[in-house]
Amino acid sequence: DVKVTQSSRYLVKRTGEKVFLECVQDMDHENMFWYRQDPGLGLRLIYFSYDVKMKEKGDIPEGYSVSREKKERFSLILESASTNQTSMYLCATTGTGAQHFGDGTRLSIL
Amino acid sequence: GENVEQHPSTLSVQEGDSAVIKCTYSDSASNYFPWYKQELGKRPQLIIDIRSNVGEKKDQRIAVTLNKTAKHFSLHITETQPEDSAVYFCAASKGSASKIIFGSGTRLSIRP
């Protein structure tokens, strides 16, 4: 069974802080994704990566960056956190089929 | 750009009745259409998927239909049960390794 692990379930940070969200998968999948989930807006793609050191912008990349130094790890970075980045963040990975999600990180920016 | 529209946003049905959720997609090159169920406080999980070479797929009480010409696909749940209450997301992609575009979700409630 695919396991996607996000480092924190809940996180509280302050405006202007640099925030790191970590995601690790154990299936040797090449493709990894970061989504943001807000009520009524569904799942919006922030960034995705097809391979180590590769990244592509999704639909809402502004204010975010990512890092993929190792195949199993995909990090989302909020360079200078703002209150409008308060949200649920979901990491996902896919092999040849559907996406497998982590449990999510509920991030609050105060 | 690529877009997936999902309706309705909320749906309430009597236990035992059927529920139907509909989606349309904009990119005619899309060929893979998964459906996810997200229970409260949990991760989205795949419940069924369909590829463009198939018009219908069924798995027990769940079925999905696809009309490529109209760019529509639908989820049908029969004999609904309380555990079917959740948010359901449709999605579309151009291949299993491509990025997936999600609909905005349908909150399904099953009335006892």
pLDDT tens digits along A48-98: 998 898 899 998 999 999 999 999 999 999 999 999 999 999 999 987 777
Interface check B49 vs A, CB under 8 A: yes
How far apart, in whole angstroms, are the C-alpha atoms of residue B66 and residue B23?
Answer: 10
Handedness of CA B57, B58, B59, B62 (dihedral sign): positive
Alpha helices (runs of H) in A10-85, residue ranges in sequence order: none
Contact at 8 Å (CB) between A63 and A86? Answer: no
Region of poorest pLDDT, from A34-43, A53-62, A95-104, B5-14 = A95-104
**Of residues A90, A38, A41, A35, the one with CA closest to residue B9:** A41
Share of chain A above pLDDT 90, in %: 78
Nearest chain B residue to A36, by CA: B102
Q: Which residues of chain B lie closer than 8 angstroms to A58, CB-CB?
A: 99
pLDDT of residue B79: 97
pLDDT of residue B100: 86
Q: Could you tell me which residues come within 8 angstroms of residue B83 by beta carbon, excluding any fewer than 6 positions away?
A: none
Q: Which amino acid is at A75?
A: S
pLDDT tens digits along B51-109: 988 899 999 999 999 999 999 999 999 999 999 999 999 999 987 567 888 999 999 99
Nearest chain B residue to A31, by CA: B97
Residue B111 has pLDDT above 90, yes or no: yes
- pLDDT class for B41, splitting at 50, 70, 90? confident
Residue A1 has pLDDT above 90, yes or no: no
User: Between β-strands B32-38 and B45-51, what pairing exists: parallel, antiparallel or unpaired?
Assistant: antiparallel
Interface check A61 vs B, CB under 8 A: no
Q: Read off the pLDDT of each residue in A20-45 and give the average, rounded to a whole number.
A: 92
| Average pLDDT of every residue of chain A | 93
**Of residues B4, B11, B37, B39, the one with CA closest to residue B111:** B11
Residue B1 has pLDDT above 70, yes or no: no
Q: Read off the pLDDT of each residue in B2-22 and give the average, rounded to a whole number.
A: 96
**Which one of B99, B101, B106 would you mutate to disrupt binding with A, by most A Cβ within 10 Å of its Cβ?**
B99
Residue B12 has pLDDT above 90, yes or no: yes
pLDDT of residue B95: 73
| Shortest distance, CA A18 to any CA of chain B (angstroms) | 26
**H and E: helices and strands count for chain A:** 0, 11
